[in-house]
Amino acid sequence: AATNKHLVETALKYGVYDYIIKPLKLERFREGIENYKRKQNLLSESEELHQEIIDQFIGNRTPISTESKQLPKGIDPLTLQKVRKIINKTGLTAEEVGEKLGASRTTA
């Protein structure tokens, strides 16, 4: 039933953020949670909403940043921006940055 096309269409119509079918893969679940957190942070950290931010939130377009093209695999531009903000404010360890960021020490 979870793969029923009508069910998926209805869920999307009502604004579901993500849709994961069984069998649940832990990595896919983590990706969904990380994407949700990233988008919520994008909105909460933006004083003004510009079209680029809205497009990133909705997922219609990829970020315009040229920096994201040059980043190593696994480095998210939004997370990098947040880490830089935190580090610029105070000298912190990777563990402290991770705690403030809501991410692992390795990510920070």
The pLDDT-based confidence of 77 (bands split at 50, 70, 90) is confident
Would you state the pLDDT for residue 98?
78
Distance of CA 72 to the CA centre of its chain: 17
The greatest distance separating any two alpha carbons of the chain, rounded to the nearest whole angstrom, comes to 52
pLDDT of res. 26: 92
Both 60 and 75 in one domain: the answer is no
Q: Are residues 76 and 49 in the same domain?
A: no
Neighbours of 21 (CB within 10 A): 13
How big is the CA angle at 35 (ends 55 and 6), to the nearest 5 degrees?
80
In angstroms, what CA-CA distances link 42 with 24, 92, 104? 27, 23, 19
Domain range for 50 is 25-64
Output the pLDDT for position 29: 92
Q: Are residue 47 and residue 84 in the same domain, yes or no?
A: no
Report field, pTM of the whole predicted structure over 0.95: no
Q: What total number of domains does the chain contain?
A: 2
